């Protein structure tokens, strides 16, 4: 019987799903989902609700952050930009980068946590085997924990956990399978909502992980390149 509650930022993608599976080992789950005007908003919300049902939690907070599409500058939220295709070994920040998105998400998680006296926040950020977004690097989360310590009431003791930050996509999938995470319910594609495109950064990194494990991804793709 678990008696502690944690908040998980759950986009509905593979990484956040496996993070929820890890959190679920020790905690009851309260799940936060953000709609920020991204192209695949509806499909991600469906994945979020499906995963919440899988974990039988009704503690859900769904937040609409329309301003991300108003300020633009990301191919995820600006319909005039095209979602770039995956470039192997590129050190550029892809145009899917949404400015400072994780700080917005963590701030909401922390406000919610402080309000319900919850001390643990999980986020499925990945740095090593990822797109190189600045707000995914480990130091960013360490310093954010310091901001939380200073900016909340004394004794609130809220802490962010990033359990998969140094895992490769392959390791994340392995961990998900080991914990019986509902990977078949997740949605990762940045571009399409019906069948995953197979070509955007997010699809490519995911497909490569499955290919490295020599396992078939349970979701459908329009195109399946060989990434290894």
- Subset of residues 180 to 209 that bind its own copies, contact rule: CB under 8 A: none
- Please select the residue that binds its own copies; options are 116, 195, 223, 228, rule is CB under 8 A: 116
Rounded to whole angstroms, the Cα distance separating 38 from 109 reads 19
Q: Quick check: 107 binds its own copies (CB under 8 A)?
A: yes
Q: Quick check: 143 binds its own copies (CB under 8 A)?
A: yes
Least distance (Å) between residue 91 CB and its own copies: 11
Q: Quick check: 28 binds its own copies (CB under 8 A)?
A: no
- The region of 145-153, 164-172, 187-195, 203-211 touching its own copies under the rule CB under 8 A is 145-153
Rounded to whole angstroms, the Cα distance separating 73 from 145 reads 27
- The region of 9-17, 107-115, 177-185, 189-197 touching its own copies under the rule CB under 8 A is 107-115
Cα torsion angle, 49, 54, 55, 56, sign: positive
6 and 29 Cβ atoms separated by less than 8 Å: yes
Least distance (Å) between residue 119 CB and its own copies: 13
DSSP string of 91-115?
-SPPTTPPTTHHHHHHHHHHHHHHH
Q: Quick check: 112 binds its own copies (CB under 8 A)?
A: yes
Residue 215 DSSP SS3: coil
- Subset of residues 155 to 174 that bind its own copies, contact rule: CB under 8 A: none
Rounded to whole angstroms, the Cα distance separating 10 from 126 reads 14
Residue 74 carries which DSSP code?
S
Site string for its own copies, 48-87 (x = CB under 8 A): -------------x-xx-xxx-xxxx--------------
Q: Quick check: 218 binds its own copies (CB under 8 A)?
A: no
Q: Quick check: 150 binds its own copies (CB under 8 A)?
A: yes
Name the residue among 84, 87, 85, 86 with its Cα closest to residue 95: 84
**What Å distances lie between residue 104 and 11, 50, 142, 159, CA to CA?**
14, 24, 16, 16
Would you tell me which residues interact with its own copies (CB under 8 A)? 61, 63-64, 66-68, 70-73, 93, 97-104, 106-108, 110-112, 114-116, 134-135, 137, 139-140, 143-144, 146-148, 150-154
């Amino acid at each position: 019987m678990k008696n502690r509650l944690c908040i998980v930022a759950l986009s509905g993608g593979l990484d956040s799903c496996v993070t929820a599976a890890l959190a679920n080992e020790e905690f009851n789950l309260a799940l936060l989902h953000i709609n920020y005007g991204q192209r695949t908003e509806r499909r991600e919300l469906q994945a979020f609700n499906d995963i919440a049902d899988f974990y039988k939690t009704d503690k859900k907070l769904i937040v609409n952050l329309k301003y991300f599409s108003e300020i633009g500058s990301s191919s995820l939220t600006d319909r005039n930009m095209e979602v770039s295709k995956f470039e192997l070994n590129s050190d550029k920040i892809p145009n899917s980068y949404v400015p400072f998105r994780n700080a917005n998400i963590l701030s909401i998680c922390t406000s919610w946590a402080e309000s319900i006296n919850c001390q643990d926040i999980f986020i499925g950020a990945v740095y090593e085997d990822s797109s190189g977004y600045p707000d995914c690097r480990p130091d960013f989360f360490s310093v954010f924990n310091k901001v939380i310590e200073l900016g909340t009431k004394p004794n609130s003791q809220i802490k962010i956990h990033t359990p998969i930050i140094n895992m490769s996509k392959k390791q994340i999938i392995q961990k998900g399978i080991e914990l019986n995470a509902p990977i078949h319910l997740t949605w990762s594609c940045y571009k399409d909502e019906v069948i995953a495109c197979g070509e955007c950064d997010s699809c490519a990194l995911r497909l490569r992980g499955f290919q490295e494990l020599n396992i078939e991804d349970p979701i459908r793709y329009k195109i399946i390149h060989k990434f290894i």
